[in-house]
Structure 1
Amino acid sequence: MRSLPADCDALLTCIQEENGIALLRCQTSASQLLLPDELDGLPITRLGDYAFSAREPRQLPEGTFQLLLTSGGGQIPAHDAAALRLVRLPQRALSLGNYAFYGCTGLEALEIGGSLQSVGTDAFMNCFSLRRMTLAAPAEECRCLRSLLQEYSGELELRFTPPAGPECRLFFPAYDEDYEEMAAPHIFHYNIRGVGYLCRQSFDGHRFRYDQYDASLDLLLRTHEFSLAARMALDRLRFPVQLSEAARTAYLTCLSEHTAQLLELVLAEASTAPLAFVLALDLLDRQALAEGCELARTARRTEALGLLLEYQNRRFGAPRARSFDL
C-alpha cells in the first residue's frame, strides 16, 4: 500500500472517475484531519456517502484503491468518527455525500473549498458539537450554502474567507422542527420553532441575500435572548459585506440598548478583538464601563481590563485622586 506524508494518520479508500478522484471512505482516529487537494496529480472532486461517518458505506464499487496518510508511524489507524474535531475538505471537491459525517459527534469545525456545489441528505446527522464552517468564497458565490444550512439546524457561525475580497462572518441561531400528530391515522402537523429557520431562508434561488438576513434581526430580538442578536450584530458590524446604512443603524441600536449583556458576551471570548471592536463603537457610558471592569477583574482577564481602563481614561479622563485627612 502506498503512503503519503501528512500531519495525521488516515486510510483513504478512493476510486478514479472521469473528472478526478472520489474519496469514498476515510478511516482515522485523529482529532484534526487536513485532507490533500489532489492525489496522483488529479483533484479530489467527490466525497462519498458515509465517507467520515461512524458507519461504513453499504457497498464499495470495483476498482477502488487505498492510500495511507501517515505522520510517521506507518500503521493503519482504527476509525473513530467521534474523535474528529476539525476537518479540512479538499479545496476542489464538488460534492459531499449523504450521511458523510453521520455520528461525528465531536466535530466542531469544518473548512470547505469554494468549489463545493452540493451537500447530501443528512450529511451532518448527529454532529452535535458542530459550531463553525469556513468557506473559501464569498457568501453570494457559494452554490452549496443553501444546502449546507438546510442540512444543519444547530447554532452555526459561517466564515467566508475568499482569496480576493473581504472576510465575512454570519451567525445563524439554531431552530427545532418536529411533527405533531393531529388525528389518526397518520395526519401530522409540521412545527418549526426558532428564528434560525428564517435566517436560513435568505436566498434568491441559490444566491445569498444579505438584506433578507439583516431583516431577521427584529424578530430575533422579539423572540430570543439578546446574546443571539448580539452575535449576529457583532459579526455584521465587524465584517460589513453588503451592509446597508439602515441595517448598520439597527445593529448599533441593538447593541447600545443592551450594553451590560454585550460586555458579558465579549468578555467570555478568549480573544480581546471583539472587546476592542465594541470599545471603538463608543457605545458604553460610565456605568457600563465600571460594570465591565468589575466583570474583567472577577474573571481575571488582565488584558481585557487594561483595554477597558485605557478606554475609560481616554474617554472620560483619569479618575481624580482622593486624599484623606486623619
Structure 2
Amino acid sequence: MLLDILPLKNNTARLVRAYGEAPCIALPSALPAPEGGSWAVTELGDYCFSESPRNLPAPDAVCRYAVGEDGSAVLTRAFGRDRTGRHRRYDLDFGTAPEEDLHPVCGNFLEEAVLPDSLRVIGSCAFYNCRRLRTLSVGAGELTVGSDVFLNCFALADLIVRADPEQATGLFALVNNITEAVRALFWCPGEAAPRAGLWYPAYWEDVEESPAHILLHTFSGQGYHYRQCFLDGKILCAEYDAIFPDGHASEDKDIMAMLCFDRLRWPWGLTEQAKAPYTAFLKANTGRVVARLLKAQDLDSLKALLALDVLDAAGFAEAAALAVQAEQAAAAALLADAAYSRQAAKPNRKRYDFDF
C-alpha cells in the first residue's frame, strides 16, 4: 500500500490519496518524517477516497510512503524527490511498480477502512461515492467531520468504535452524516465481542420555503432523535432507550428488531425497565432477526439469539422453516437442538390412573 501525505503544522499530516490492490485499508497512526521524528496522521483530505479527487496538492508538496502488511512505513519519495534510487518506480508493498500502474483505493473498490487512533478530522466528501464501503473503524478520539462525507455510501452498515461506550468519541459526528440505517459497535481492541451495539435508524429531512421566505426543516423517522442522544461526545444511554417504547410503530420493523436484539445481547447500561419493551418486541419479531442472520450466515449471532430465550414454539417453527428455505443445514440443526432442549427442560405433567 502507498500513501500520499501532506505535512501540516505541529508534526501532523493529512492523507491525500491511498494506492493498493486490496479493498480493505488500515491506516497507520504515525509516519517517519523525512528529517527525523514522526508525523501523526490527523486528517483525511477532502475527496480522499473519492474516485474524482479535487484540488490535489502538487507532487512536490507531498511525501509518499510504502506501508507493509505489518503496518511499518518506509518513505519512498519526499517532496518530489525519489528516496528509493529507482527512476520513476516506487515501492509497493515492498515490491516495485511503475507510477502509472498505481491503483487508487477509492470509490467502488473500497470495502473496509480502519482509521488510526490519531485521526481528528475527516474532510468533506472523503468517502464520496464509495458505494461498496461496508465497515468503517475509528478510534476513541473526538472527530471533526466535513460535509457530505458519506454521500452515496449506500452499503455502509457498521461503524466500529474502538473504545468503551462510556468514553467520549466522534460517533456523534459520524452518525449525523449518515441518514441511512447504521449500527455502531463499541469494540475495544483485543476483546472477543463488542461491549455495546447501538442502531441508528434511517430518517429523512425535508426543507420547505414558506410564503415569507423562511426555510422550514422537518424530520421524518425516529433516526433523527436517536442521533441526538449525545452530550460532550458521550452517549446518553437513558435517552436512547426512552425513544423505543413510543417511537417504533412507524419504523422499519426489520431494523427495529435488530435494534432490540443487539441492545439485549450487549446490554450496556440497560435497565430492567428499558429491557421490557425491547424483549416484548423481539419475541414478536424473532423471524425478522433469524432471516437477517441466515442471510449473513452468522451462526454465532443465531446462538446469541437462542441464549436470550425469546423464541416460543411458534418462533422455533418459523425459524426452522426459514433455515430450510435458506438451505442452511447447520442453522437448522442448531435450531432443532435448541427446540429439543427447551422442550426437555419443561417439567413433566403428572398423570393419574383411576381404577374403577
Give the TM-score normalised by structure 2. Answer: 0.78
Give the AA of the match of 2:43. R
* Correspondence 1:39 to 2:39: no
CA distance in 1, matches of 2:247, 2:41: 40
CA distance in 1, matches of 2:255, 2:323: 21
Matches within 5 A, 1:220-239: 220-239=247-266
Q: Measured at CA, do residues 264 and 81 of structure 1 come closer, stay the same or move farther in structure 2, by a change above 3 Å?
A: closer
CA distance in 1, matches of 2:272, 2:297: 30
State the aligned residue count.
309
Give the AA of the match of 2:42. T
RMSD (CA atoms): 2.5
Q: Could you list the runs of 5+ residues in structure 2 that have no partner in the other structure? A: 33-37, 68-91, 346-356
Contact 1:31–1:84 under 8 Å retained in 2? yes
Give the AA of the match of 2:236. R
Out of 248, 254, 276, the residue aligned to residue 303 of structure 2 is 276
Contact 1:101–1:124 under 8 Å retained in 2? yes
Matching residue of 2:50:
53
Contact 1:118–1:143 under 8 Å retained in 2? no
Q: Measured at CA, do residues 48 and 250 of structure 1 come closer, stay the same or move farther in structure 2, by a change above 3 Å?
A: same
Matching residue of 2:72:
none
Q: Could you list the runs of 5+ residues in structure 1 that have no partner in the other structure? A: 1-8, 319-326
Contact 2:257–2:286 under 8 Å retained in 1? no
* Correspondence 1:74 to 2:97: yes
Tell me the percent identity. Answer: 29
Out of 92, 98, 121, the residue aligned to residue 147 of structure 2 is 121
Moved more, 296-305 or 113-122: 113-122
Give the TM-score normalised by structure 1. Answer: 0.85
Deviations 1:31-84 (A, max 9, x none): 111222221143212222222223324253774322344233434314342211
Deviations 1:140-189 (A, max 9, x none): 42331211111111111111112488622111111111213443x84443
Matching residue of 1:108:
134
Matching residue of 2:206:
178
Matching residue of 2:63:
65
Q: Measured at CA, do residues 240 and 15 of structure 1 come closer, stay the same or move farther in structure 2, by a change above 3 Å?
A: same
Q: Report the alpha carbon displacement of residue 220 of structure 1 after superposing the two structures with TM.
A: 3.7
Matching residue of 2:281:
254
* Correspondence 1:201 to 2:228: yes
Give the AA of the match of 1:193. S
Of the two, which has the highest radius of gyration? 2
Out of 67, 77, 84, the residue aligned to residue 110 of structure 2 is 84
Matching residue of 1:290:
317
Q: Measured at CA, do residues 306 and 130 of structure 1 come closer, stay the same or move farther in structure 2, by a change above 3 Å?
A: same
Matching residue of 2:16:
24
Q: Measured at CA, do residues 50 and 259 of structure 1 come closer, stay the same or move farther in structure 2, by a change above 3 Å?
A: closer
Matches within 5 A, 1:303-318: 303-317=330-344
Moved more, 73-82 or 272-281: 73-82
